[in-house]
Structure 1
Amino acid sequence: MKTAGKFPLLHPYKSGSRIRVTVVALFLLFTFTFLFSFIATRDTTAAAPSPLPDPISDALLYYASANATPTMSPAEIHSVYSVLRRCSAPCNLLVFGLTQESLLWNSLNHRGRTVFVDEYAFGVTRFEKRHPWVEAYDVRFSTKVRDLRSLIEDFKREVDGECRPLQNLLYSDCQLAVNDLPNYMYDVGWDVIVIDGPSGYSPDTPGRMASIFSAGVMARTRGGEGGGGGTHVFVHEMTREVESVCTELFLCRENLVETVDMLGHFVVRKMGSGGGRKHTYGFCYTTPSSSSQFI
């Protein structure tokens, strides 16, 4: 069992002044929303206004000074934000991948619980000192993009065993299971899961097979304080083969709410233990329609 180290980290990206202005403008728009809500609800009898919550002020300072390219478009960011805004507090948000949007997600959900999971363990101490209110853990993903075919074949063989949709991932031997997170995370009812990692830009990178599979299992086995309305799962870069194949198999077409640019939005509900319609490969009611040869 691998240990999960605590490490907030932003991936390096190329700079661009025009994109930087877009990010800053977008974040300021969100900030004004928070400020309006804060001012409208604070105690008017207080002698002086309270400072902004740490996650919000931290993110404001970062985006006002950072020269970084966002990984998501403004429309994609707004799609996630609209769900977080409607989430009943406290909202449980799990994010796979630490990107330029990480502090934004943390600030937009500052009244709830936000946890990040990423593949890179270096730079933990330095970034943790800068953003001590960000909770993140590193996972050593054993998958590779080049192994997609064999991983899908193994999943099909084990769909009624180690890779079944209803299980405790902590004890799973499925190759696609993320099972080295802190124990408490498997008992949380995650309201929103954002998958923007691990990296999948080359055959030797981990790919997002395990994060998409694990998100599908977490949503269907949802427990803890989570409600019964389903888990919102966002998958970025849906045009790539790994993301396309794995969302078809583990999140399912019938659960797709919308696609915004390269972001897929799924709502996956808890799966009952009784009978009912037969699931394809244990996860979906509908047969996957992906053109990939792996399905």
Structure 2
Amino acid sequence: MKTAGKFPVLHPYKSGSCIWMTVVALFLLFTFTFLLSFIAPRDTTAAQSPLPDPISDALLYYASANATPTMSPGEIESVYSVLRGCSAPCNLLVFGLTQESLLWNSLNHLGRTVFVDEYPFSVTRFEKRHPWVEAYDVRFTTKVRDLGSLMEDFKREVDGECRPVQNLLYSDCQLAVNDLPNSIYEVGWDVIVIDGPSGYSPDTPGRMASIFSAGVMARTRGGGGGGGGTHVFVHEMTREVESVCTDLFLCRENLVDTVDLLGHFLVGKIGAAARKHTYGFCYTTPSSSHFF
């Protein structure tokens, strides 16, 4: 049983009920379309199959919750379009518990969805309310204010502990997320969404570790997922930590698109012997201003 932590401080949400109503409308449209697939075309008297728990759970939440989304409708559609295009059930890893968490879980209900959050209390409460959700808490030690020193450490260790192809479980790199269950590192993640940790002030955990770890997971991709690389989405790309770390660990040449504050990267798996990267991760050289 996980121990309780301090009460979660959520991201500052965008205001405006119109955005939230649009998200709800999109979700209701998806749910209605999904429901139609359960209706038997030849036997109209047969009982309809009930909605899967993740979908009914999310539907009830968004129909009754007085909450504002962290993502815009365009950002949500960007992630959903990739989930919808998976050739097999998607493996989805999400950093951060946000207002969209139940939406991600329901949109990927046929696949595996795992959430990682900085607050043990949030994870415990979320799992208690939604027992079919898989979530883990992680202690992020990288603070926003430490960006400069962490990048200096990365420069020294890019060919050592902070290399792009490695088993994160055994990594001593300061940027590595290495305290998740062993099985998480063996999954071939098709989609990784980074909307956490919070990172909204100098003393809060920054997203350096989650972005670095996503880059390593994509390049060291395990089994169980489809081919074609790992889609990595990073929210709030205009902030310094997110801008610097996506440039270094996900790389400009892998940027597919940006929608509002969401960056979409497609990162391919590489073998350690075939690695010919500048600074270890990227074919194009990151801006020198990103090395403090």
C-alpha distance in 2 between matches for 1:91 and 1:103: 16
**Match of 2:104?**
105
**Match of 1:279?**
277
**Match of 1:220?**
219
Across the aligned residues of Structure 1 and Structure 2, the Cα RMSD in angstroms comes to 2.4
Q: How does 1:64-213 map to 2 (within 5 A)?
A: 64-213=63-212
- Percent identity between the two aligned chains: 84
Q: Deviations over 1:149-181 (max 9, x none)?
A: 000010010011100000000000000000000
SS in 1 for 2:27: helix
Segments of 5+ residues of structure 1 without an aligned counterpart are none
Is 2:232–2:266's contact at 8 Å kept on the other side of the alignment?
yes
C-alpha distance in 1 between matches for 2:93 and 2:4: 14
**Match of 1:247?**
246
**Match of 1:294?**
291
SS in 2 for 1:94: strand
Segments of 5+ residues of structure 2 without an aligned counterpart are none
Tell which deviates more after alignment, 127-136 or 187-196: 127-136
Is 1:10–1:100's contact at 8 Å kept on the other side of the alignment?
no
Is 2:127–2:135's contact at 8 Å kept on the other side of the alignment?
no
Q: Deviations over 1:51-104 (max 9, x none)?
A: 000000000000000011100000000000000001123210000000000000
TM-score (structure 2 length as normaliser): 0.92
SS in 1 for 2:121: coil
C-alpha distance in 1 between matches for 2:43 and 2:151: 58
Alpha-carbon offset, residue 34 of structure 1: 1.9
C-alpha distance in 2 between matches for 1:270 and 1:45: 48
Q: How does 1:253-272 map to 2 (within 5 A)?
A: 253-272=252-271
**Match of 1:23?**
23
Alpha-carbon offset, residue 227 of structure 1: 3.0
C-alpha distance in 1 between matches for 2:43 and 2:248: 53
SS in 2 for 1:32: helix
Residue-pair matches, total: 289
SS in 2 for 1:274: helix
The code of the aligned residue for 2:291 comes to F
Tell which deviates more after alignment, 103-112 or 266-275: 266-275
